[in-house]
């Protein structure tokens, strides 16, 4: 049995991250991360290459690129959580998400590779957060100029994914007239 990681207090993050923390509507971070990965896989498995490469507007990312963005962000936030949990007070830099997309070559990758990597990243995140003690979860640090607790970073990972899955559902899969409408928009 794992330690139940509950929602962080508002003092554990700033207002920018409160949107993501609020979207992570669970009282158990591990259960939330697990359920979210099951949902994500269910929504994405079986989509055609055309659907995965679709962009709802010029300059917007494809679904494959969104998934790689989610993994990049999860890795960066998990790294921050590890450093903060271990008591490292070094201020960590931010990252420019748009600069990460083109070098990722997400659209050229086979979808099975992207999904396998997504599961590997999520399993690593879950294992990391399961390893933290209550004391470690309450440690804080600064990343991108923002002070956050380890616990808040976990909920930000989950809420960030929920945010992007909602966009995928509403703007990619449920957009009328793009031929992508299917039943995957019914789950969240």
**CA end-to-end span of the chain, whole Å?**
27
Residue 126 has pLDDT above 80, yes or no: yes
The pLDDT confidence band at residue 186, using thresholds 50, 70 and 90, is very low
- Provide the token pair at 113: 């590779």
Which phi and psi (to 5°) does residue 141 adopt?
Answer: -160, 180
Domain 33-176 bears CATH identifier 3.40.50.300: no
Rounded CA separation 33/51 (Å): 25
Write down the domain spans for the chain.
33-176
Tens digit of each residue's pLDDT (9 = 90 or more) over 7-37: 999 999 988 889 999 999 999 999 999 999 9
Closest CA to 20 of 175, 187, 148, 183: 148
pLDDT at 100: 87
Specify whether the CB–CB gap between 13 and 149 falls below 8 A: yes
pLDDT 10s digits, 54-89: 999 999 999 999 999 999 999 999 999 999 999 999
pTM of structure: 0.91
In tens, the pLDDT along 162-181 reads: 999 999 999 998 854 444 44
Res 174: pLDDT: 80
Dist CA 103 CA 72 (whole Å): 12
Give the Cα separation of 68 and 58 in Å (integer): 19
The per-residue pLDDT for 175 is: 58
CB 178 within 8 A of CB 57: no
What's the confidence (pLDDT) of residue 16? 84
């Amino acid at each position: 049995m794992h330690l139940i990681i509950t929602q962080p207090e508002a003092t554990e993050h700033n207002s920018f991250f409160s949107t993501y923390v609020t979207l992570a509507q669970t009282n158990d971070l591990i259960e939330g991360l697990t359920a979210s990965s099951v949902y994500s896989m269910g929504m994405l498995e079986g989509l055609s290459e055309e659907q995965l490469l679709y962009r709802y507007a010029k300059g917007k990312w494809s679904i494959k690129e969104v998934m790689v963005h989610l993994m990049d962000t999860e890795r960066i936030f998990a790294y921050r959580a590890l450093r903060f949990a271990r008591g490292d007070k070094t201020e960590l830099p931010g990252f420019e998400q748009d600069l990460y997309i083109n070098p990722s070559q997400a659209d050229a990758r086979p979808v099975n590779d992207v999904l396998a990597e997504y599961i590997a990243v999520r399993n690593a995140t879950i294992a990391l957060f399961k390893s933290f003690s209550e004391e470690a979860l309450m440690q804080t640090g600064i990343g991108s100029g923002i002070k956050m607790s380890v616990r808040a970073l976990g909920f930000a990972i989950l809420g960030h994914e929920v945010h992007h899955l909602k966009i995928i559902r509403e703007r990619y899969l449920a957009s009328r007239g793009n031929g992508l409408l299917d039943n995957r928009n019914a789950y969240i």
